[in-house]
Amino acid sequence: MLDELQRRNYAQNTVRAYIHAVEDFAKYFCRSPDRLGPEHIREYQVHLFRDRKLSPGTIEGRTAALRFLFVKTLRRRGQWSSA
């Protein structure tokens, strides 16, 4: 994912935020993110909103990071559309 972000010339702050978001997602489920899917994304979003009480804008940023991971890095476009 890091290589793909750098190849696309994402800003360093965005790269850090995306990496952090994916790490947090994986830690929440105690699994590699490539073993997770749309149902996990929905559960994670609920967790961020209800338990972590993050703002909608922050959750949107985390979701953008997961979209990048699944669509651009893992090439799971069809899987993302159901999330």
16 three-state secondary structure: helix
Residue 78 has pLDDT above 70, yes or no: no
Higher pLDDT, 30 or 77: 30
Residue with tokens 């994912």: 1
52 three-state secondary structure: coil
Higher pLDDT, 81 or 73: 73
What distance in Å separates the CA atoms of residue 74 and residue 37, rounded to the nearest whole number? 11
Ordered domains of the chain (ranges, CATH):
2-77 (1.10.150.130)
Summarize pLDDT for 18-76 with one digit per residue, the tens.
999 999 999 999 999 999 998 999 999 999 999 999 999 999 999 999 999 999 999 88
Q: Is 9 exposed, middle or buried (0-12, 13-18, 19+ CB in 10 A)?
A: exposed
